[in-house]
Amino acid sequence: MKQITIKRRTIPDIEIKGGAHLHPFLAQIYKSRGVTDIKQVDYQLKNLLMPHGLLGMESAVSLLINAIKEQKRVLVVGDFDADGATATALVIRALRSFGALHVDFIVPNRFDYGYGLSPELVNDLLSIKPDILITVDNGISSHQGVSLAKSLGMQVIITDHHLPAETLPDADAIINPNLNGDAFPSKHLAGVGVAFYLMAKLKSALQKDGWFEHKQLATPRVSAWLDLVALGTVADVVQLDDNNRILINSGLELMKKQCCCPGVLALFEAAGRPAALADSAALGFVLAPRLNAAGRLEDMSIGINLLLTDDRQTAKALAQQLDEINKQRREIQESMQNLADSVVKQLQKDDALPMGLCLFHKDWHQGVVGLLASRVKEAVNRPTIVFALEKEGSEWLKGSARSLPGFHIRDALVSIDRQYPEMIHKFGGHAMAAGLTLHQSQKKAFLMAFNNTVKQWAAGQPLNKIQVTDGVLPGELMSQHVAAMLQQAGPWGESFPEPVFDGWFVIKEKKEVGMGHCKLSLQMEEANKKVDAIAFNIHPNDFPPESNRVQICYQMDINEFRGRTRLQLIVRNIVY
């Protein structure tokens, strides 16, 4: 059984300004997450940040106004994940509602072109002859592709949120809140969030210019696209600062009222989930995997077309197709996981598990390595990179990296690249996730360099798994009412985590359900109260026998079955 170190959140001795009406328990939860003013959890759209400070906005808007008025050919260059898909669909929906007649998209197939606006992709665009390219969720590292596109007479607008390198591509306009000197307060927008701000600013400029009246077009509501913003933002696991929570909450409200696009509704239906109960967990763990599956195994165009269609039957068929692809993805991932687990167990047995773990197998699927890296990282609590062949028989390896809090994975790759300039072919990413390409001849040297980098960061300290909790939940608060209050207090997510509690329970019953999950009946030690629990991907044998005590970390949930609801705990970690 894993040994987990519990770290309980501290509750600052402050009062939340304007928060006198809050339930005292909820006020404690908010304070421990840095809330000092009730405005920080007031998710009305009127509190959304304006686009002031976003560099490149005026130039991009001017280019797009000209493109719309002259009916130029606009091509949106997307990315093959859920953030890129939602951003692509949003920009196309917006431009078409603004009166643009020649708008299309392309997503580089990850297996043929790799990531971003590559020179190979630009060359293949010559037959389309676009006048202007808009990158979404990519482009900030596409120096060669941008230069080639401009030399061929195309204008290029980059919208991205990934961290830029020291030099920027020579685009006509770049919008990225992480540019040096950018004054936009929220640095954590997802790619779809950046695209949303550009389209909102463009709509405002066109409206001020009298464009919609002149063309007798209905003035679009930019808030109608927030379902896409919510889905892409949650899926990309960006930090949920105050502004991102407003964007997500507004999108969730559209879903609950079934005022979202037919494709989003169809994803809920394919998953067997009611849209009326939409929350950030449903977006991250139910909708996003189905949408991402297309980009991982086949072509993200399927997902984008789902988000673009207004025909419910078409949406239903595409959502079912994505659901089937996602089932294939799960089967592939399970096979990869079994092999990875065996390798890790052998390394642990030999006391040879490196601090920075890299795994590779020639038969692993490039589209699934990121998911595997996340799972392995969680299991071993080490920064992890999983590699696969770029294509069968290739000499190049594509890697997906996942990190721990405090270890900035992209900065680590920057450091390695500076020490060994010929080692990494290309890379990019965030603090917690990154991607890179290596030649097979560099694999062994990179493994050593990465492990040494993590060792230096750890400074000889063991990498014990730490579970941050909100402490022990008093018996009187173990109720469906409190669970509902916490659910409604979201959206929860990265850097604004859903409450997790720890406590001792007596196991009354346990049994396996599904494939390797455990259903439990528990009794609180400090209160004569029984409660149901579910532990996903944890086998009953991982728990002590019935009638024994167990300390767990858990979240509160409401389980609905045959029209009845009851409290259910979701086990996140077994401590002892």
**DSSP string over 360-407:** E-TTS-GGGHHHHHHHHHHHHTS-EEEEEESSTT-SEEEEEEE--TT-
> 266: exposed, middle or buried (C-beta count within 10 Å: 0-12, 13-18, 19+)?
buried
Closest CA to 319 of 296, 286, 285, 346: 286
Residue 195 confidence (pLDDT) above 50: yes
Q: Chain-centre distance of CA 195, in angstroms?
A: 16
pLDDT score of 537: 83
Strands in 103-106's sheet, in edge-to-edge order, are 103-106, 74-77, 132-136, 155-159, 173-175
pLDDT score of 431: 83
Q: Backbone phi, then psi, for 54, in 5-degree steps?
A: -75, 110
Q: How far apart are CA 536 and CA 298, in angstroms?
A: 28
What is the rounded average pLDDT for all residues in the chain? Answer: 94
Residue 272 confidence (pLDDT) above 90: yes
pLDDT score of 1: 43
- For range 116-133, the mean pLDDT: 93
Tell me whether strands 384-389 and 357-360 are parallel, antiparallel or unpaired. Answer: parallel
Share of the chain above pLDDT 90, in %: 86
Q: What secondary structure, in 3-state letters, does 272-319 show? A: CCCHHHCCHHHHHHHHHHHHHHHHHHCCCHHHHHHHHCCCHHHHHHHH
Which string of b and e fits 440-453 if b means at least 16 CB within 10 Å?
Answer: eebeeebbebbbeb
299-325 tens-digit pLDDT: 899 999 999 999 999 999 999 999 999
Cis amide linkage into residue 164, ω under 30° from 0: no
Q: Are 287 and 278 in contact (CB under 8 A)?
A: no
Radius of gyration of the chain (CA): 24
Closest CA to 404 of 367, 443, 372, 431: 431
206-258 tens-digit pLDDT: 999 999 999 999 999 999 999 999 999 999 989 999 999 999 999 999 999 99
User: Domains plus CATH for the chain?
Assistant: 47-324 (3.90.1640.30), 353-458 (3.10.310.30), 467-574 (2.40.50.460)
Q: Are 533 and 570 in contact (CB under 8 A)?
A: yes
Q: How far apart are CA 230 and CA 21, in angstroms?
A: 28
Question: Which residues are CB-contacts of 377 (< 8 A; sequence separation ≥ 6)?
Answer: 357, 383, 384, 402, 403, 404
75-109 tens-digit pLDDT: 999 998 999 999 999 999 999 999 999 999 999 87
pLDDT score of 39: 96
495-522 tens-digit pLDDT: 999 999 999 999 999 999 987 899 999 9
Tokens of 319: 């959502």
367-405 tens-digit pLDDT: 999 999 999 998 899 999 999 998 888 999 999 999 998
- For range 124-130, the mean pLDDT: 92
More confident residue, 266 or 461: 266
Q: DSSP class of residue 462?
A: -
What type of residue is 479? S
Q: How far apart are CA 281 and CA 359, in angstroms?
A: 29
Residue 42 confidence (pLDDT) above 90: yes
- For range 332-345, the mean pLDDT: 94
Place 2 in a pLDDT band, splitting at 50, 70 and 90. low
User: What is the value of pTM for the model shown?
Assistant: 0.91
Beta strands in 171-224 (DSSP E): 173-175
pLDDT score of 3: 65
Residue 76's beta-bridge partner residues? 105, 134
Share of the chain above pLDDT 70, in %: 99
Neighbours of 146 (CB within 10 A): 27
Q: Tokens 């629990």 belong to which residue?
A: 533
Closest CA to 139 of 423, 433, 436, 428: 428
- For range 18-31, the mean pLDDT: 97
